[in-house]
Structure 1
Amino acid sequence: MNNYTYNISCPYPCEDYDYDYDELEMTEEWQTILTLAFSSTIILSILGNVVVIVVLLCVRSNNCLNVYLINLAVADLTMAVFSMPFTFITLMNGHWTFGKEMCSITLFLMQVSVCVSIYTLTAIGIDRYYAVLHPMRRRASKKRNLCIVLIIWIISAMSGSVQIAMARTKQYIWDGEFFYTCGEQWPNKTSAVAYEIFVMCGTYFVPLLAMCYTYIMVGYTLWFRQIPGNADQVRDYKHIKTKRKVVEMLVVVLLMFALCWMPLHVFNIVQRVHRDLKQQDITRQINAALIWIAMSNSFVNPVIYCFMNDSFRNHLKLICRCVCNKTTTNQGEFLVMRHHSHSSPRRETQSTDCKTVRGNTVNENEIYECE
Structure 2
Amino acid sequence: MDLLGSSPPTSPYTLPVNSSSPVPSSSPSVSPSPSLASTALFCSLLSLLSLLGITGNLYTLVLLLRRSRGRRRRGAACCLTRIPVPSCLASSSSPSSSPTSSPSSSSLHLQVLSLALADLLYLFTAPFIVYDSLASGWAFGELGCRLLLSLDLLTMHASIFTLTAMSLDRYRAVAHPLRTSSSNSSNLLRVGLAWGLAVALSLPMMITLHLEDGDNHEGQLCVPAWDEQSSKVYLSVLFCTSILGPGLAIGALYATLGRLYWVSQTRPAWATGSNSACSPRAPKPKVLLLILGIVMAFWACFLPFWIWQLLPLYQPDMLRTVPVGTQVTVNRILTGLTYGNSCVNPFFYTLLTGKQKHNNRQALAPANQLCRKSPPLQ
TM-score using structure 2 length = 0.68
Which digits, 9 at most, give the CA deviation of each residue in 1:71-109, with x for residues without a partner?
A: 11111111111x222233334557544222210111111
Which of the residues 30, 45, 48 maps onto 1:37? 45
Contact 1:169 1:183 (C-alpha < 8 Å) held by counterparts: yes
The residue type equivalent to 2:31 in the other structure is Y
1:159 aligns with 201
- CA distance change for structure 1 residues 251 and 220 in 2, over 3 Å: closer, same or farther? farther
1:67 aligns with 2:75: no
Which of the residues 30, 35, 46 maps onto 1:27? 35
Q: Partners in 1 of 2:250 and 2:7 — Cα distance?
A: 45
Which of the residues 267, 270, 274 maps onto 2:308? 267
SS at match of 1:140: coil
Which of the residues 187, 196, 216 maps onto 2:235? 196
The residue type equivalent to 1:252 in the other structure is G
Q: Partners in 1 of 2:36 and 2:179 — Cα distance?
A: 59
- Higher helix proportion (structure 1 or 2): 2
Which digits, 9 at most, give the CA deviation of each residue in 1:246-280, with x for residues without a partner?
A: 45434423421221111111111112342975982
Cα distance, 1:138 vs structure 2: 4.3
2:257 aligns with 218
Q: Partners in 1 of 2:302 and 2:166 — Cα distance?
A: 18
SS at match of 1:139: coil
Cα distance, 1:301 vs structure 2: 2.4
Structure 2 residues not aligned, in runs of 5+ = 1-5, 9-24, 72-101, 271-282, 366-378
Structure 1 residues not aligned, in runs of 5+ = 1-5, 9-14, 231-241, 315-337, 344-371
TM-score using structure 1 length = 0.69
Q: Partners in 2 of 1:111 and 1:219 — Cα distance?
A: 32
- Root mean square deviation of aligned Cα: 3.6
The residue type equivalent to 2:107 in the other structure is C
The residue type equivalent to 1:180 in the other structure is Q
Which of the residues 286, 309, 328 maps onto 1:245? 286
Q: Partners in 1 of 2:110 and 2:230 — Cα distance?
A: 37
2:298 aligns with 257
Cα distance, 1:282 vs structure 2: 1.6
Q: Partners in 1 of 2:7 and 2:234 — Cα distance?
A: 25
Q: Partners in 2 of 1:340 and 1:261 — Cα distance?
A: 37
Q: Partners in 1 of 2:343 and 2:192 — Cα distance?
A: 23
- CA distance change for structure 1 residues 137 and 173 in 2, over 3 Å: closer, same or farther? closer
- CA distance change for structure 1 residues 194 and 46 in 2, over 3 Å: closer, same or farther? same
SS at match of 1:51: helix
Contact 2:29 2:215 (C-alpha < 8 Å) held by counterparts: no
1:77 aligns with 120
2:347 aligns with 303
Aligned length in residues: 294
- CA distance change for structure 1 residues 46 and 147 in 2, over 3 Å: closer, same or farther? same
Q: Partners in 2 of 1:265 and 1:134 — Cα distance?
A: 36
- CA distance change for structure 1 residues 279 and 166 in 2, over 3 Å: closer, same or farther? farther
Q: Partners in 2 of 1:55 and 1:271 — Cα distance?
A: 43
Q: Partners in 2 of 1:196 and 1:270 — Cα distance?
A: 11
Cα distance, 1:166 vs structure 2: 1.9
